[in-house]
Amino acid sequence: MQAFIPLITIFALLSLSTLAATQAKKSGRELYEANCQACHVTGAANAPKVGDFAAWKPRIAEGLKELTGDVIRGKGAMPPRAGNPKLTRAEIASAIVYMANQSGANWKEP
């Protein structure tokens, strides 16, 4: 019976860490507000403004995979990972989906 106690403890800890990770997940909008809006609201350094359908149309045509790669690598004046090395690929994609959807796309959250 004692051998089951450590297993139960491990499963409980894994469940709690999964729950904490799920609760900590930020929405695309939250990620955009924290990492992207400074440039994508003002158009700083030629960043396409969110809501500018004409500026976003060719970017939307590139697709999410290509845009995500652009952000990871950095493009133009935008540094790699939008200047936040802690952003994951999934978080970057989520922020892109939010911006693109505000600018004419109809993409689902990754």
Digit-by-digit pLDDT tens for the chain (110 residues) are: 555 555 444 544 454 444 445 457 999 999 999 999 999 999 999 999 999 999 999 999 999 999 999 999 999 999 999 999 999 999 999 999 999 999 999 999 88
pTM above 0.85, yes or no: no
Q: Which residues contact 73 (CB under 8 A, 6 or more apart)?
A: 80
Summary count for the chain: helices (H), strands (E): 6, 0
Cβ proximity of 60 and 77 under 8 Å: no
Q: What's the Rg (C-alpha) of the chain?
A: 18
Q: Which residues contact 52 (CB under 8 A, 6 or more apart)?
A: 103
The domains found in the chain, sorted by start residue, are 26-101 (1.10.760.10)
